[in-house]
Structures are given as C-alpha cells and as structure tokens.
Amino acid sequence: MRTLSFAQDKDRVIKAYKQRWDIERLFRTMKTQGVNLENPPMKDLGRLSKLMTIVAVAIVYASITGLTQECAYKKTVRAPFYSYFTRGLRWIKDKLLFFDFSNLLNYLKKSEGEYG
C-alpha cells in the first residue's frame, strides 16, 4: 500500500515540476530569450497591456509553428534540443529572411491601382 502511495506522489510531483518548468521557460522567453520584455519601451499600463497581448499571441504562434517543424538536430551536447518556441521562431525568421518582398510590393501596387 505504501509503494502505491509513493508512486502516486511521485507522479504528482513530476507533473507539478513539469508545469513549473514550462512556466519558467515562458518567463525566459518573455525576458531574455526572444522577446526581451525586461525593459519595455513604454510605461503606460494600457499600452503595456496591449504589448503583452501581442507578445502572448506571437509566442503562441511561434510555439505552434515549432510544433509542426521537424527537429533538425538530435539532443546532444553540441546540438541541444530546442524548444517549440525557438524552433518556430527560427522557422519564421528564415521565411522572412528569404521572403521575396518584391512580389508582395507588386501585388500591393496592382491592388492599389484597382481600388485607388
């Protein structure tokens, strides 16, 4: 009976620690890694609230994008396992870096001529 209780407690502790670790990773993402919100550019609470909402949506979007990406590296000392957020953010950066903005500008110019 005691072993069963220990196993249940162990599972509960592991689950709680995993949740805490997820929160710690989120704070790290919001502070130093990725978003840098330790020194926000504004002090107005209304604007800061809007910024936090945008940041939350961006983090969720990058994390969901990271979930859909294959991990290029195995977990080793030289190539650590990246979080879903980091994987998604890298994928988004790569897409923006190699995005052909001239096609978008041409499309927008055509649309402007049709409606402007």
Record the pTM. 0.55
How many CA atoms lie less than 13 Å away from 41 in the CB half-sphere? 4
Contact predicate 32/38, CB 8 Å? yes
pLDDT at 1: 44
Exposed, middle or buried: residue 66 (CB in 10 Å: 0-12, 13-18, 19+)?
buried
User: Where in the chain are the domains?
Assistant: 1-39, 42-116
Q: What is the chain's pLDDT, residue by residue, as a tens digit (116 residues)?
A: 445 566 677 888 888 887 787 778 777 777 776 677 777 777 888 888 888 888 888 888 888 888 887 765 555 555 455 677 788 888 888 888 877 777 777 777 776 655 54
